[in-house]
Structure 1
Amino acid sequence: MTELLFLNDAYASEFTATVIDLTDDGGVVLDRTALYIGGGGQPCDVGTLSDAGGANYRVVKVARSGGAIVHTLEGDARPDPGDELHGKVDWDRRYLLMRTHTALHILCGVVWRDYGAHVTGGDMRPGAARMDFELENMTAEFAGEVEARINQEVARERDIVVDSMTRADADAHPDLIRTKINLLPAGIKEVRTIDISGLDLQADGGTHVRNTREVGRIKVVGHESKGRINKRLRIELE
């Protein structure tokens, strides 16, 4: 079992870990990691692992595979089981993804609060993202109005709190899941939550900044129809 350090501290950019296994395809399993494994539209982290002898390994992918958290390394060189490693997250990329992910939650929170629309899909890359909503109409005027409102929330400097609740409490909280379809796996007994104080509380497993001011200005750079009641907004961070 790999301890996922990013769940409790999204700002942990370096860590020490022990190699506990190698996979048949050359992947590395560690006892702990600060590298985000990807999910909910947020890409996985990349970074480096190094040992005391000076060997360096570039991590190009982190993902769940067969019940393990596997770090895929560039090239053929691999550490050995039992090796102690120092890990570094590609921080510039991670922090931009944290800002982007929080920007999506601000967008989702505003559209839910002000227009009552569920999310039907979403995706992100560093500094840019899109989110689809259950809306019948989408216009340039609407997109401009949403842009103004989400930047008001950035300017309000709302704190962002990571917490958890039991599955029973989560199931009793109808607004916790903003997607049209509840995507929480049935086996989850404790639900991690992200709370943009006073705006948005959602179940979420990704990484976020501590305050909305860190997001910076959000630009709505596109809008389009993806169906009769499925409309898309595209955003970028300045």
Structure 2
Amino acid sequence: MRGALEDVRRTALMRTHSALHVLGGVVFRDFGALITGSNMNPLEGRLDFNLDTLPEGFRDRITEAANAEVAADRAIEVRVLPRAEAFALPDIIRTATNLVPADVEVVRLVDITGLDVQADAGTHVASTRSIGEIEIAKVENKGRGFRRVRVRLR
């Protein structure tokens, strides 16, 4: 059996996944909101947040903040820690529900230096600059207390 890697697609997914972490980090830092859902395709994706209302200028503020983090060229590093040690770190779960199964003994952490540390098993680019420009394509109201943010990468 043979396999082949689609490098263009994989790189696009890595950029998108990293961009969603930047967005999640910015919204958590600036608004205290947790992620309640997500989805991604190459160069586009969405995050849902537990925000009761949209603060004034929300779309412009998160666009500016996310792209400032991209321009900062923050390193994106991966490490693994024993479960107890990982969960001793503050805020490594940025989702409203902890999705790390109870039987996982070693937790993989993705660290966007100075912005976001989360338990995560996905692939990422090496630094935020590799993400490229993040466009907030749309912000939607998905019901009481839930806002959806759609992104596209350029």
**Which residue pairs with 2:41 in the alignment?**
125
Which amino acid counterpart does residue 33 of structure 2 have in structure 1? A
Which amino acid counterpart does residue 40 of structure 2 have in structure 1? M
**Which residue pairs with 1:168 in the alignment?**
84
Q: Map of 1:1-238 to 2, 5 A cutoff? A: 49=2, 87-138=3-54, 141-238=57-154
What's the offset of the Cα at 1:139? 6.5
The answer to whether the 8 A contact 1:220-1:236 is kept is yes
**Gapped regions of structure 2 (runs ≥ 5):** none
What's the offset of the Cα at 1:140? 7.9
Q: Secondary structure at the match of 1:89?
A: coil
Higher RCO structure (Cα 8 Å, ≥6 apart): 2
Which amino acid counterpart does residue 119 of structure 2 have in structure 1? A
Q: Secondary structure at the match of 2:145?
A: coil
* Aligned residue pairs, count: 154
The answer to whether the 8 A contact 1:138-1:223 is kept is no
2: CA distance, partners of 1:201 / 1:172 = 12
1:137-180 superposed Cα distances (whole Å, 9 cap, x missing partner): 13782111100100000000000001011111122224000000
The answer to whether the 8 A contact 1:139-1:223 is kept is no
**Which residue pairs with 1:42 in the alignment?**
none
1: CA distance, partners of 2:8 / 2:56 = 32
TM-score by length of 1: 0.63
TM-score by length of 2: 0.96
Higher helix share: 2
The answer to whether the 8 A contact 1:138-1:224 is kept is no
**Please, what is the CA RMSD of the aligned residues?**
1.3
1: CA distance, partners of 2:14 / 2:56 = 27
Q: Secondary structure at the match of 1:112?
A: helix
2: CA distance, partners of 1:195 / 1:123 = 20
The percentage of counterpart residues that share the same residue type is 47
Q: Secondary structure at the match of 1:88?
A: coil
Which amino acid counterpart does residue 209 of structure 1 have in structure 2? V
Higher strand share: 1
Which amino acid counterpart does residue 211 of structure 1 have in structure 2? S
**Gapped regions of structure 1 (runs ≥ 5):** 1-18, 20-48, 50-86
1: CA distance, partners of 2:56 / 2:137 = 10
Q: Secondary structure at the match of 1:228?
A: coil
Q: Secondary structure at the match of 2:4?
A: strand
